[in-house]
């Protein structure tokens, strides 16, 4: 073992300079941990078409190709061109990519800048995309490399590291060192690794504290630290919009924000707090390109360059997949429907009950009358008019006296109680509450009202793009507006419009339309045009986007989003007072109804008892009179 160690150390020391300039043998091993830690799936090698062959480049590429799928790109004076392999189209949605550029650096960074400019169009470095630049240098100056790192940050490339391999010509391997190493001790072995590490330098830049790192290679060194998890007070330009009930914002006369509240604001403040960032609220936006009806995904991306984050919920405005590059983690689900003025119609159900009960009663009367004829009952008692009075509990002067007829009489009375009560109850309901609220179960029912739909401009195209039939009628009558708040007020006051908005917004406006007697003046119709996830918008390639999405995801998993957005209508002062007032009224009304019902049943029972007693005493009196006559 002692002999083998001696041979290995001796072999490395006596290598010629060209082979000694290959300290990458050790740090190549850290590449494998890079793939696992950052979930990289594909490596893309970028090299110039005039690059000389290099053992370092070949060894590095060979090591990476052993681990993950790899593709080679050639760089010319115009940009990057795929070489020998068609991998499809790269876009801003491409993730889990590692771009590697190797160059023999002589102090001119133009070629490196050209590489950054090209790959910045191919991938979004705010997600799982990384850039590793390997430079073979002959100088020990770090200032030029710092300029490269600063230029990368200006290009919004945060996940970047420069590995500098300094040639052996810059190091003095004195005879003293060789003599010490030749002592075959463990100290000599550690010294050899230290010498190798000093020739591999990892250059990194934390833009949030403006600090450069020039660290000697070590096996535990992370090439791409997540600096964005702590932004150290870095300012994030935030756009907020008055979007009830998700955000309530008041603005000062100079356009600066006054007061702001709502779940959108809570989520924005949570994001900036967890990332240790400073929210810089931009002045009130005058107009946004993507609010127009003819905007494109390019308009949306260009608009996103004016801010870092929007604290208002947006659905997908276009069908282009690139729109996902400026959208955050999904926050809630929006359902687009119609908020209608509350309408009433005659309660057809009550009328149908009356007609059905009446028809059954008539059939029952005829059946009883025919049965009486067939059974040869006394015609004096079993006339149609008398049967009608029995069924509807109208008193008669004479009742059948024969036992069989009396039994049949009681059956008729019991049937009368059943069906006549239904008729009485239906007539009472028709007189007290003849109207019923319209449910608007279908788009046809909405269209039949003749109301004019009002819809936000950005939603019009998506909602009615392929409209046919009833939807086409609604599209022709629709009015496109920028703000939907005025629509609800018009619907309440004039009742000639309906508002096409999201269900969460409709619930909010419906609550605020509630009157003091507890009735909502607006109703959300049953049909849903479409549903989609709502999210915040980012600036494309915003550094820290991945960390922001993690915060949103954790808020969702902790139930905070559900708490904020589901119960956002709670705590309204006016509504709470109205609800309390309505609750007290309901308790009072319930007590009054109980008293009336108890009194009515009591009186009915007393009347029944009185009739029974009267009938009994009358019969007794008649019997006494008969006995007296007979005795005389």
What DSSP assignment string belongs to 418-474? HHHHHHHHHHHHHHH--EEE----SHHHHHHTTPEEEEEHHHHHHHHTT--THHHHH
- Distance from first CA to last CA of the chain, Å, rounded? 152
Phi, then psi, of 254 in degrees rounded to 5: -85, 5
Distance (Å, whole) CA 461 – CA 295: 10
Which pair of tokens denotes residue 503? Answer: 């269900």
Neighbours of 328 (CB within 10 A): 24
What pLDDT score does 2 carry?
A: 38
What pLDDT score does 461 carry?
A: 85
Is residue 311 within 8 A of residue 503, CB to CB? The reply is: no
Among the residue ranges 179-183, 396-400, 602-606, the one predicted with the least confidence is 179-183
Q: Is the pLDDT of residue 217 over 60?
A: yes
- Chain mean pLDDT for the chain: 76
Helix H or strand E segment including 304: helix 297-304
Which pair of tokens denotes residue 402? Answer: 């024969």
Distance (Å, whole) CA 416 – CA 138: 112
Please report the DSSP string for 261-299 in residue order.
Answer: ESHHHHHHHHHHHHTT-EEEEPPPP---GGGSTT--HHH
Q: What's the pLDDT tens digit per position in 415-456?
A: 776 666 666 666 666 666 666 677 888 999 999 989 999 998
Q: What is the mean pLDDT of residues 591-614?
A: 76
Q: What's the pLDDT tens digit per position in 488-531?
A: 889 988 889 999 999 988 988 888 888 877 788 899 999 999 99
Please report the DSSP string for 576-604 in residue order.
Answer: HHHHHHHHHHHHHHHHHHHHHHHHHHHHH
Instruction: Give the rounded percent of residues in the chain with a pLDDT score beyond 90.
Output: 18
Q: Residue 134 — pLDDT band, cuts 50, 70, 90?
A: confident
Q: What is the mean pLDDT of residues 182-205?
A: 54
Please report the DSSP string for 216-254 in residue order.
Answer: E--TT--SS--GGG--TT-EEEEE---BTTTBEEEE-TT
Residues, the chain, total? 632
Could you tell me which of 234, 187, 190 has the C-alpha nearest to residue 210? 234
Helix H or strand E segment including 60: helix 55-65
Q: Is the pTM of this model over 0.75?
A: no
Cα three-residue angle 145-234-160, rounded to 5 degrees: 30
Q: Is the pLDDT of residue 83 over 70?
A: no
Those residues whose C-beta lies under 8 Å from the C-beta of residue 522, and which sit 6 or more positions away, are 339, 340, 341, 342, 488, 491, 492, 506, 509, 510, 513
Query: What is the number of alpha carbons within 13 Å of residue 206 lying toward its C-beta?
Result: 14
| C-alpha separations of 472 from 230, 290, 453, 475, 482 in Å | 52, 24, 12, 5, 21
Pairing of strands 479-481, 452-456: parallel
Those residues whose C-beta lies under 8 Å from the C-beta of residue 373, and which sit 6 or more positions away, are 382
Q: What is the mean pLDDT of residues 218-225?
A: 78
Q: Residue 85 — pLDDT band, cuts 50, 70, 90?
A: very low
**In which region does residue 251 sit, left (phi positive, over 0), alpha (psi from -120 to 50) or beta (all else)?**
beta
What pLDDT score does 274 carry?
A: 93
What pLDDT score does 478 carry?
A: 93
- Residue 70, classed as helix, strand or coil, is strand
Q: Is the pLDDT of residue 581 over 50?
A: no
Distance (Å, whole) CA 503 – CA 500: 9
CATH class of 25-169+196-225: alpha beta
Is residue 71 within 8 A of residue 83, CB to CB? The reply is: no
Could you tell me which of 391, 399, 395 has the C-alpha nearest to residue 365? 391
Is residue 547 within 8 A of residue 229, CB to CB? The reply is: yes
Could you tell me which of 159, 161, 148, 164 has the C-alpha nearest to residue 197? 164
What pLDDT score does 106 carry?
A: 81
Among the residue ranges 203-207, 328-332, 518-522, the one predicted with the least confidence is 518-522
Q: What's the pLDDT tens digit per position in 7-36?
A: 233 333 333 343 344 444 455 555 666 666
| The 211-216 sheet, strands edge to edge | 80-82, 70-75, 42-48, 97-104, 129-137, 160-166, 200-206, 211-216
Higher pLDDT, 468 or 606: 468
Please report the DSSP string for 130-191 in residue order.
Answer: EEEEEEEES----HHHHHHHHHHHHTT--SEEEEEEE-GGGS---HHHHHHHTT--HHHHHH
Could you tell me which of 45, 155, 24 has the C-alpha nearest to residue 100? 45
Is residue 225 within 8 A of residue 197, CB to CB? The reply is: no
Among the residue ranges 188-197, 328-337, 589-598, the one predicted with the least confidence is 188-197
Q: Residue 574 — pLDDT band, cuts 50, 70, 90?
A: very low
What pLDDT score does 20 carry?
A: 41
Those residues whose C-beta lies under 8 Å from the C-beta of residue 527, and which sit 6 or more positions away, are 337, 338, 440, 441, 442, 443, 446
| C-alpha separations of 311 from 248, 249, 285 in Å | 11, 11, 13
Q: What is the mean pLDDT of residues 617-623?
A: 74
Distance (Å, whole) CA 444 – CA 619: 67
H helical segments located in 484-572: 485-493, 503-512, 545-557, 560-566
What pLDDT score does 8 carry?
A: 31
Q: What is the mean pLDDT of residues 277-284?
A: 91
Among the residue ranges 10-14, 50-54, 118-122, the one predicted with the least confidence is 10-14
What pLDDT score does 178 carry?
A: 31
- CA 51 from chain centre, in angstroms, equals 50
Q: What's the pLDDT tens digit per position in 260-276?
A: 999 999 999 999 999 99
Q: Please state the domain extents for the chain.
A: 25-169+196-225, 346-434
- What does the CA dihedral 179, 182, 186, 191 come to, rounded to 10 degrees? 50
Distance (Å, whole) CA 324 – CA 86: 24
- Please tell me which of 62-71, 414-423, 474-483 the model is most confident about, judged by mean pLDDT: 474-483
What pLDDT score does 269 carry?
A: 93
What pLDDT score does 194 carry?
A: 46
Could you tell me which of 403, 243, 415, 412 has the C-alpha nearest to residue 331? 243
Those residues whose C-beta lies under 8 Å from the C-beta of residue 309, and which sit 6 or more positions away, are 236, 237, 238, 239, 268, 271, 536, 537, 538, 539, 542, 548
Q: Residue 332 — pLDDT band, cuts 50, 70, 90?
A: very high
**In which region does residue 488 sit, left (phi positive, over 0), alpha (psi from -120 to 50) or beta (all else)?**
alpha
Phi, then psi, of 538 in degrees rounded to 5: -110, 160
Pairing of strands 435-437, 344-346: antiparallel
């Amino acid at each position: 073992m002692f002999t083998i160690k001696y041979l290995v150390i001796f072999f490395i020391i006596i290598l010629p300079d060209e082979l000694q300039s290959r300290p990458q043998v050790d740090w190549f091993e850290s590449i494998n941990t890079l793939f696992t830690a950052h979930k990289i799936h594909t490596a893309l090698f970028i090299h110039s078409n005039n690059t000389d062959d290099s053992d370092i480049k070949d060894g590095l590429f060979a090591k990476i190709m052993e681990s993950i799928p790899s593709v080679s790109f050639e760089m010319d004076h115009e940009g990057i061109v795929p070489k020998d392999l068609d991998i499809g189209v790269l876009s801003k949605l491409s993730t889990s990519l590692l771009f590697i550029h190797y160059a023999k650096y002589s102090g001119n960074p133009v070629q490196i800048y050209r590489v950054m400019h090209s790959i910045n169009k191919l991938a979004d470095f705010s997600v799982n995309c990384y850039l590793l630049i390997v430079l073979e240098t002959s100088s020990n100056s770090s200032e030029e490399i710092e300029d490269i790192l600063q230029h990368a940050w200006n290009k919004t490339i945060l996940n970047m590291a420069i590995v500098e391999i300094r040639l052996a010509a810059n190091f003095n391997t004195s005879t003293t060192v060789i003599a010490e190493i030749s002592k075959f001790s463990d100290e000599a072995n550690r010294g050899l690794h230290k010498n190798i590490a000093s020739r591999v330098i990892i250059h990194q830049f934390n833009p949030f504290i403006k600090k450069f790192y020039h660290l000697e290679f070590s096996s535990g060194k992370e090439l791409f630290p997540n600096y964005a998890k702590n932004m150290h007070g870095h300012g994030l330009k935030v756009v907020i919009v008055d979007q009830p009930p998700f955000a309530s914002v008041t603005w000062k006369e100079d356009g600066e924000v006054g007061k702001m509240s709502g779940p959108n604001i809570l989520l924005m403040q949570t994001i900036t707090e967890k990332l240790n960032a400073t929210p810089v609220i931009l002045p009130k936006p005058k107009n946004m390109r993507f609010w127009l009806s003819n905007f494109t995904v390019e308009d949306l991306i260009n608009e996103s360059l004016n801010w870092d984050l929007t604290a208002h919920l947006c659905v997908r405005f276009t069908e282009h997949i690139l729109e996902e590059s400026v959208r955050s983690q999904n926050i809630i689900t929006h359902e687009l429907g119609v908020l209608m003025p509350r309408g009433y119609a005659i309660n057809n159900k009550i009328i149908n009950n009356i007609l059905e009960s009446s028809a059954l009663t008539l059939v029952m009367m005829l059946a009883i009358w025919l049965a009486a004829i067939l059974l040869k009952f006394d015609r004096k008692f079993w006339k149609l008019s008398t049967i009608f009075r029995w069924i509807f509990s109208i008193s008669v002067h004479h009742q059948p006296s024969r036992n069989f007829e009396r039994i049949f009489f009681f059956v008729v009375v019991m049937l009368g109680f059943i069906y006549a009560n239904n008729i009485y109850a239906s007539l009472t309901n028709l007189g007290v509450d003849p109207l019923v609220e319209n449910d608007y179960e279908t788009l046809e029912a909405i269209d039949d009202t003749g109301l004019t739909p009002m819809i936000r401009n950005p939603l019009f195209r998506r909602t009615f793009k392929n409209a046919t039939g009833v939807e086409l009628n609604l599209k022709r009558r629709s009015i496109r507006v920028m703000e939907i708040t005025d629509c609800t007020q018009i619907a309440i006051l004039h009742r000639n419009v309906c508002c096409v908005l999201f269900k969460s917004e409709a619930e909010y406006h419906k609550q605020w339309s509630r009157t003091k007697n507890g009735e909502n003046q607006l109703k959300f119709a049953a049909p849903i045009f479409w549903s989609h996830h709502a999210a915040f918008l980012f600036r494309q390639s915003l550094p820290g986007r991945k960390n922001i999405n993690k915060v949103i995801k954790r808020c969702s998993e902790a139930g905070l989003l559900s708490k904020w957005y589901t119960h956002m209508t709670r705590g309204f002062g006016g509504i709470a007072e109205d609800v309390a007032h309505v609750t007290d009224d309901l308790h009072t009304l319930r007590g009054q109804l109980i008293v009336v019902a108890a009194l009515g049943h009591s009186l009915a029972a007393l009347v029944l008892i009185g009739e029974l007693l009267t009938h009994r005493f009358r019969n007794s009196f008649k019997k006494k009179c008969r006995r007296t006559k007979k005795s005389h």
